[in-house]
Chains A and B, each alone.
Chain A
Amino acid sequence: MADEVRLAIAADVDVVQARQRGRELASEAGFSNGDQTVIAAAISEIARNIVNYAKRGEITLRLITNGDRQGVIVIAEDHGPGIRDVVQAMEDGYSTSGGLGLGLPGARRLMDEFEVHSVIGQGTTVTMTKWRRKTS
C-alpha cells in the first residue's frame, strides 16, 4: 500500500471502507492490534460525521515520521454546513443529529493529536494523528 490513501466518503459503506483502510495502513506502520482498533474506531466516527452532516467529503490517510517516531495522520474534509460551535461539538453528549454525541470527543480521546477547523457555510476539516508507542 502507498503511504497515502485518499477515500471519497458519501455513504455508510465508505465509512466501513475508510476504517478498514486505516487499520491496514496502521498495521503496515507497525502499530499494535489495539492501536489499529483505536485508529479504526476514530476514523469510523469522523467518517460517519461527514455522511451525517455534510453528505459527502474525503478522508486522507497518511503515514508520517517525526524523528524516530512513526505515526498515522487522518484528515477528514468536507464542504458541508460547518459546525456552529466547535467547543460545544467537542463536549460529550452534544449532538444535533440524534446520535450519542460521542463522535468528535470520542475520536479526540482515541487519538494523540486532534484539531477541528470549521467555517459556517464552507465546511469542516478534522485532522488527527496517532503516534506509535516505542514499545509497540
Chain B
Amino acid sequence: MEVPILKQGHYLIASIQSALTDADLSQLREALITRVGKFRARGVIVDVTALDVMDSFAVRTLRDIAHMARLRGAETVIVGIQPEVAFAMVQLGLTLKGVATALDLEEGLAFLNQHPEGRLPDRPSPGRNPRG
C-alpha cells in the first residue's frame, strides 16, 4: 500500500495510513528521497500514528530516510509514535538515535520551523571543526 506524500511549503509530509510491508517501507524511502530533490524540500515529516507495531526493519528504514534526507539537505521528524509502540521499541533495543521525533504533526511542524536545515543542536556548527 502506497503512502501518500503531501507537499506543504518547503516540507514533505508522509502520512502512513495502515500497516506496511517491508516493500512498502522501502518504496516510501525511495519516494521521499526522490521528492526531496524534486520539490527542493527542507523538511520531511513521517507520521506513524497509524502504525500499531514498529519492528527493527521499520525503525531501520525510518532512520535511513532521516539520514538520506539530511544528506540531501532536508531535516526529518518522525511524529506520532504511540505509547505501546514506544514501549515495545525500547524492549527490542530500537532507539531511533540521531533522528528527530515529535509528539504529533503539529509539534513536528513546529520543530522544523524552529530548526531550519543545518541548525540542529546535535550537529556541529559550521566553523567549529574547519578541517572536518
Contacts and interface: CB of A to CB of B under 8 A. Distances in A.
Secondary structure dominating the interface of B: helix
User: Most chain-A CB neighbours within 10 Å: which of B57, B84, B85, B88?
Assistant: B88
A20 B21 CA distance: 12
B88 A37 contact: yes
Q: What class of interface size applies to chain A in its complex with B?
A: 20 to 34
Interface residues of B, number: 24
Nearest to B86: A37
B23 A12 contact: yes
Nearest to B85: A37
B22 A37 contact: no
Interface in A89-128: 92, 99-100, 102-103, 105-107, 109-110
B8 interface: no
Contacts, number: 77
Interface in A17-40: 19-20, 23, 33-34, 36-38, 40
A36 B93 CA distance: 18
B93 A33 contact: no
A41 B21 contact: no
A76 to B, nearest CB: 14
Interface string B1-39: 000000000000000000111110000000000000000
Nearest to A41: B88
Of A12, A33, A92, most B-chain CB atoms within 10 Å: A12
A12 B53 CA distance: 15
B84 A102 contact: no
A12 B19 contact: no
A71 B82 CA distance: 24
A13 interface: yes
Instruction: Kindly list the 7 A-B residue pairs having the minimum CB-CB distance in the complex, ordered from nearest.
Output: A106-B92, A37-B84, A44-B55, A12-B22, A12-B21, A41-B88, A34-B84
Interface of B: 19-23, 52-57, 59-60, 82-85, 87-89, 91-94
